[in-house]
Structure 1
């Protein structure tokens, strides 16, 4: 008989826009999952309901992560540095807004050191699967996202992805396209590699669909030891994706 006991899953970045969706979706599937969240501040913890299963920790501080990973089966990493717009931008005057990262919260600290700390802590705790949500665009060092706040965000994300792929822990790396705040389950999802999808008209994806892909990856063996780009067709084009096993089987790229 298959092991039907629920998997214990930790979602980091659970206070973020995609993280909140993953955390809530897992919470709804109590027969399959025991969920924990990890957030950076008590305010974020309150924002997602303040339950006892939400840990407050700073991913830049390796020791602070350790309690949250004890006894988990899987880890979903959704932490990311967030660029902020410099005040005083007036869209009516044309030009482009300028962005910055708060001191100590640059991509190097959050997306590289912070994710490396999470991978190390999870590996030491014996975790069986790590799902990391990254971003398309990482094959191009001159991608515009890298110039935001001089943060080189895609460079550092890719470094963390490589570290995970080399860790020996079963992994799934999902490099999402441009994230949209739209309903999930309405679109045909597309997997690709090496940013090929960026050359097409299908470069975006609803956050809810990325969240669902993370949860499906927890349950589908074909998602392990793979890294892929993920985007979606526009609504009303194609058939909404229901069979995630078939979707994950479309790619065999390990990085």
Structure 2
């Protein structure tokens, strides 16, 4: 590991990607610990009057046996996300579950190709929402954060699970209420 910069060496990256057992032994947090155990603990600790439980999941949780999601799930990421979704849905808490595509834009904290390439949208792409885990693509972390905050203020997102990807021309202002209103029609 390059201690000066806090990044793993190329050999460390290859070990992490080519050997799932090595990756699990080196991980300080696994998908199971973060998503299943973490969400279980958060649900148990949630106050009864919680206004909203917003969870960031992932596109592909219902398609984890198909490429490219099967590759991501080789480490159990999508299995853990799906279990966490089920825990939240069955908790009785008001929830919103957002399934972004492959995350791009910073901060670049994960050991993946996105981090190596410093992939970015530079805020140039529009937003598309979908349901039923049918969308694929990239999603800006900035837009995911905005969707989380905006969904709290919009009652139409209560009890909804939706995908969010970046595609097409970006309007000068994102009309979150307008985007969220499409969820009513997409869910039917």
Same fold (TM over 0.5): yes
Query: What is aligned with 1:246?
Result: 178
Q: Structure 1 residues 157, 241: CA separation in 2 closer, same or farther (over 3 Å shift)?
A: farther
In the alignment, does 2:43 pair up with 1:119? Answer: yes
Q: CA deviation at 1:156?
A: 1.1
8 Å contact kept, 1:108–1:156: yes
For residues 138 and 154 of structure 1, the distance between their equivalents in structure 2, rounded to whole angstroms, comes to 5
In the alignment, does 2:64 pair up with 1:141? Answer: yes
**Equivalent residue in structure 1 for 2:125, among 178, 182, 187:** 187
Q: Structure 1 residues 120, 190: CA separation in 2 closer, same or farther (over 3 Å shift)?
A: same
Mapping of 1:72-91 within 5 angstroms? Answer: 87=12, 89=14
For residues 193 and 136 of structure 1, the distance between their equivalents in structure 2, rounded to whole angstroms, comes to 10
8 Å contact kept, 2:95–2:159: yes
For residues 11 and 41 of structure 2, the distance between their equivalents in structure 1, rounded to whole angstroms, comes to 30
Normalising by structure 2, we get a TM-score of 0.72
Q: Secondary structure at the match of 2:125?
A: coil
Q: Name the structure where helix makes up a greater proportion of residues.
A: 2
Q: Name the structure where strand makes up a greater proportion of residues.
A: 1
**Equivalent residue in structure 2 for 1:163, among 84, 87, 91:** 87
Higher relative contact order (CA 8 A, sep 6+): 2
For residues 220 and 184 of structure 1, the distance between their equivalents in structure 2, rounded to whole angstroms, comes to 26
Partner deviation per Cα, 1:48-78 (whole Å, 9 max, x = no partner)? xxxxxxxxxxxxxxxxxxxxxxxxxxxxxxx
Over the aligned positions, Cα root-mean-square deviation in angstroms equals 2.8
Q: Secondary structure at the match of 1:173?
A: strand
For residues 145 and 165 of structure 1, the distance between their equivalents in structure 2, rounded to whole angstroms, comes to 23
Q: Which runs of 4+ in 1 moved over 4 A?
A: none
For residues 129 and 89 of structure 1, the distance between their equivalents in structure 2, rounded to whole angstroms, comes to 40
Q: CA deviation at 1:243?
A: 1.1
In the alignment, does 2:161 pair up with 1:227? Answer: yes
Q: CA deviation at 1:238?
A: 5.2
Aligned residues: 156
Q: CA deviation at 1:191?
A: 0.8
For residues 179 and 214 of structure 1, the distance between their equivalents in structure 2, rounded to whole angstroms, comes to 14
Partner deviation per Cα, 1:207-250 (whole Å, 9 max, x = no partner)? 1011111111111111111000110115xx35356111111111
Q: Secondary structure at the match of 2:135?
A: helix
Q: Structure 1 residues 241, 227: CA separation in 2 closer, same or farther (over 3 Å shift)?
A: farther
